[in-house]
Amino acid sequence: MQRPLAGLTRKNLVREAIAGVTLLAIAIPLNIGYAQIAGLPPTAGLYALVVPTVIYALVVSSRQLVASPDAAAAALVASSIGGLAVAGSADYATLALAQAILSGVMFLLLAYFKLGFLANFLSRPILVGFVGGLALDILVSQVAKMLGVKIDSGGEFVDKVVELVTGLGTVNMISVLISIVSVAILLLGRRYLGAVPWALVVLVLGTVVVMIADLDDAGVDVLGAVPAGPPTLTWPVIEWTTWLALIPSAIALTLVTTAEGLLVSRSYSEKRGYVVSPNRDLFALGLGNIAAGANGSFAMGSSTSRTAAMDQAGSRTQLPSLVLAVGTLLLLLFGTALLADIPSPAIGAIVAVAILPLLGIREFIALGRLDRFEFAIGATCFLVTLFIGAIPGILVAFALALINLTRRAANPAIDVLATNDSPTDSLLGMAPAGSVTAPGVIVIRMAAPLFFANGVVFTQAVQRAVTAAPTGEVRSLVVDMEAVTDVDVTGADAFASLKKWLVEHDIALSFSRVRPDARERLVAFRLLEGEPVFPTNRAAVEALTPPVGWVERLRDRVFPQAERVEQRGATHSRSEGNGPPTEPNQITRSTN
């Protein structure tokens, strides 16, 4: 088992500690903003950076993945809990705790049963659409903060847009000025001096300006008092029916975090040359989320932006996360008074700039160029998430994933194979339409498992191959099973119908290259009942093709077919009156 803080040495200790200070400067303003997105107090975002972060950092196998509440998780929390309680109320906060605990338990179950592969159903277009819809919903709320317009951040997307538009008459110009300066600092600073924690710079400058000029009296909204003290152990006490009501949103949180987290973890491990354990990473996320729910926070996931920032800072261990936890704890104990005058427009600008890449504009453009169907999947998921909700969005995402998977699997490559005269070459080339593999034999290959979506397709393809051959030419059919890794009940039914059709047409069935697992399935479904099974396609062809003598082989090579026809005519004329002519063997092998 990998030791905690793998990769940490005396040589990189200072570098890792400095990276931790950078992470602290990035995470504190973002987590305050994400807590507000989720409809929770700022402390909910800060508490996630202490105990949950320590537990995660000491358990996870990834050396770089940073775990924390992020924009997508915050938006999911707001959209799913908003219908069950009023944002900002005690009941609302309790539901957020319960949701985090449920998500943590689901992570543990995924790790225990090794079910992380389920997140693979969330393909890239689906993730782009789903996260993009959440990001645009968040962006509306942040724009309202930047303009100083009051809206219901927990409302539906359309309602928030309407409130924002109708509230443009109440725009606070000082808030707008703060926002413009903040965005300019963030964008220009990131471009020219990316190593500087510009989010922290914006918060410090904005707070100083508010305090000096008393801008809160001029209508600029500020964060307000933040309770001091460390996170305390707690546990949500709610009705069991409420626990059940939170399960769908917890599933959505778990799946999205699993898909994104495992993808990011794997990409950085391959990039930096170390090994990760997906199930251990899921286990770490499970413990972290349970700790978040028991320490007054909300659901946490993987932070792609912060992970990238740490990679750019040269970090290759989880030490920065521990530095982050210690720094946040010190802030909660001694520095919360510094947070009270942080201007909300500055927080809105920080969050808005952070989530702009999540809109997926470049990804959508690329999808539109590469695959229109994939683009349609992403766009549908985007619109459903944006206008109907996050939970319907994740359900539609899975439905679209299944449709896309079935669409591709329903039309696998099904080929009649060709042979040549070489006894050593493999028999895997495609034969032209309407031809046979060898005299009397068709070898057919399907490059996919045989299941409900393609069983009939395979049957029809075989029937077309047989009927397209010259009448009476096909006596044996060989099914190449190398790529058929599984057979389900519906696929077995279709194959049984094919067997019946072959019997009616007096065609013998054989198999080649059958995998052990597939063989067990064939036997269980009574599809393999005494039929020959050959180790290779060439062995099948040699066993099922009538033998051709060496004289005939030599003649076929020396004389082209047209010359043989002329020879046959001449032989016939010479033999008139002297008995029937001797007909040469005219069966030749396909040389495709």
Would you list the domain boundaries of the chain?
Answer: 13-404, 414-544, 550-592
pLDDT in tens, 486-505: 999 999 999 999 999 999 99
More confident residue, 584 or 109: 109
As a whole number of angstroms, the distance between CA 135 and CA 75 comes to 8
More confident residue, 496 or 559: 496
- pLDDT higher than threshold 80 for residue 250: yes
Q: What is the pTM of this model?
A: 0.69
Contact 204, 196 (CB under 8 A): no
As a whole number of angstroms, the distance between CA 253 and CA 236 comes to 18
Average pLDDT, the chain: 84
Q: Which amino acid is at 213?
A: A
As a whole number of angstroms, the distance between CA 459 and CA 469 comes to 16
Measured in whole angstroms, the distance separating CA 546 from the mean position of its chain's CA atoms is 52
Give me the pLDDT at residue 427, please: 59
- pLDDT higher than threshold 70 for residue 553: no
| Closest to 506 (Cα-Cα) out of 465, 466, 560 | 466
Q: How far is CA 331 from CA 49, 178, 274, in A?
A: 11, 25, 34
Q: CA-based diameter of the chain, in Å?
A: 126
- pLDDT higher than threshold 60 for residue 421: no
As a whole number of angstroms, the distance between CA 500 and CA 483 comes to 23
Q: pLDDT band for position 399 (50/70/90)?
A: confident
- pLDDT higher than threshold 70 for residue 411: yes
Residue tagged 């990276």 (tokens): 19
Q: Can you spell out the DSSP letters for 50-64? A: SHHHHHHHHH-S-SS
For residue 479, give the 3-state DSSP assignment: strand
pLDDT in tens, 201-246: 888 899 999 999 999 888 899 888 888 999 999 999 999 999 999 9
Q: Give domain 414-544's CATH architecture.
A: 2-Layer Sandwich (3.30)
- pLDDT higher than threshold 50 for residue 172: yes
pLDDT in tens, 267-279: 788 888 888 888 8
- When computed from its CA atoms, the radius of gyration of the chain, rounded to whole angstroms, is 34
